[in-house]
Amino acid sequence: MARNTTKIEMINGKKTMVKTMPENMYLPAIYEWENKLCELFPDDGDFHINKVLSHDKGILHLDYIDFKPKPTSNMDLKLFGSSMAKIHNSGRKWSQGKTLTKNGWKPTTIPVKTETYSSMKQWSFGGDGSWLFLKSRGIRTEIFNTLPKYNYKTQPKAMLHRDFRLHNILYDDRGYHLIDFDFAAVDYIAIELMGLYMDIYEYHPNAAMQFLEGYKSESVDWEWSMGMLDMYLCYLCTNTFPFSMSNVMDESEVEALSNERNHRLKLAYENKKHIQQQIEDTNENK
């Protein structure tokens, strides 16, 4: 069962992306935040947030993007990093489930993730008992047991897109566009930063450092980055995705996403020394 559907329609003589989702998954605060982020990026810039033209009862009208394929080797990785940092800087203006507005702190219904990703207890629910579930739990448990303990209290949180990945960055004649904010929530910054970094690292390991440099150039701080790889590895191990969402996915989706998550975990774990060195080198660069 699909989470949502997207199609192109002509509305008031203009091409518009129309997304439909189950009404129980529709959180208006997310799309209000998405539009607020548009203010961070000027119309004549190279990076944009996909604007929500209107939304109601699970139906979103979004700015149309006439996207074109662009190989990762030609992408502006520093721009991705600096743009993500701007969003995170803004998202850190959050406190105890409230968001800062012109009229002061206002309650928000954007979800707040409370997991610390520091134990495998989330896997105790047993899943569906399938071979795929048991295989994934085994891979993740084996790697988790080799990881050092980290202090999650040193890792900052913010309102995050939570799927800020290459597949959600589209390109057209206006520049790059970040789409699909449906998973937005308050969570650890390291998870999102390392997620996009690993997308880049898989195909261009040496160029991935450009993304880190771009992020550092705009981030309000950077000291916490030294522990973000350990946090990310622990997150990949302890988080039960996609099995935790199997009720809104078909079997083929669960299998594909499970294999992708296990592959990503192995890639980060097997290249941990090189990745950590890039993080350290970014810290040392002025």
Task: Give pLDDT, residue 106.
Answer: 54
**pLDDT tens digits, 209-237:** 999 999 999 999 999 999 999 999 999 99
**pLDDT tens digits, 76-118:** 999 999 999 999 998 887 544 555 454 544 556 788 899 999 9
Task: Give pLDDT, residue 95.
Answer: 41
The confidence band for 248, taking pLDDT boundaries of 50, 70 and 90, is confident
The whole-number average pLDDT for the span 23-29 is: 88
Kindly report the number of other CB atoms within 10 A of residue 46's CB atom. Answer: 13
State residue 149 phi and psi, 5-degree precision.
Answer: -70, 140
* Helix ranges, the chain (H): 28-37, 77-91, 131-144, 189-203, 208-218, 228-238, 251-270, 272-284
Selection from 157, 168, 154, 171 nearest residue 114 by Cα? 157
Task: Give pLDDT, residue 73.
Answer: 79
Give the C-alpha distances (Å, rounded to integers) separating 250 from 172, 242, 257. 31, 11, 11
Task: Give pLDDT, residue 92.
Answer: 83
Give the C-alpha distances (Å, rounded to integers) separating 276 from 114, 212, 250, 273. 26, 12, 36, 5
Q: For all residues of the chain together, what is the average pLDDT?
A: 91
For residues 65 and 170, the answer to whether their CB atoms sit within 8 Å is: yes
**pLDDT tens digits, 110-163:** 888 999 999 999 898 766 678 899 999 999 999 999 999 888 899 999 999 999
**pLDDT tens digits, 36-84:** 999 999 999 999 999 999 999 999 999 999 999 888 878 999 999 999 9
The confidence band for 285, taking pLDDT boundaries of 50, 70 and 90, is confident
Give the C-alpha distances (Å, rounded to integers) separating 201 from 72, 75, 164, 194, 209. 10, 13, 15, 10, 8
SS3 207: coil
Task: Give pLDDT, residue 264.
Answer: 98
Task: Give pLDDT, residue 96.
Answer: 44
Give the C-alpha distances (Å, rounded to integers) separating 286 from 22, 205, 213, 268. 47, 21, 10, 26
For residues 133 and 127, the answer to whether their CB atoms sit within 8 Å is: yes
Asked if the model's pLDDT at residue 245 lies above 60, the reply is yes
For residues 260 and 225, the answer to whether their CB atoms sit within 8 Å is: no
Task: Give pLDDT, residue 94.
Answer: 54
Domains in the chain (CATH in brackets) are 73-284 (3.90.1200)
Task: Give pLDDT, residue 101.
Answer: 52
* Residues 206, 194: Cα–Cα separation, whole Å: 15
Percent of the chain with pLDDT over 90: 78
Q: Which residue has the tokens 């003589």?
A: 13
Task: Give pLDDT, residue 128.
Answer: 66
Task: Give pLDDT, residue 142.
Answer: 97
Question: Quick one: how far is CA 192 from the chain centroid?
Answer: 4
pTM: 0.92
For residues 157 and 28, the answer to whether their CB atoms sit within 8 Å is: no
* Residues 186, 111: Cα–Cα separation, whole Å: 6
Higher-pLDDT residue of 199, 106 = 199
CA angle (160, 62, 90) in 5-degree steps: 25
Task: Give pLDDT, residue 247.
Answer: 79
Give the C-alpha distances (Å, rounded to integers) separating 272 from 147, 201, 241, 267, 276. 11, 12, 22, 8, 6
State residue 194 phi and psi, 5-degree precision.
Answer: -70, -25
CA angle (21, 23, 25) in 5-degree steps: 75
**pLDDT tens digits, 251-278:** 899 999 999 999 999 999 999 999 999 9
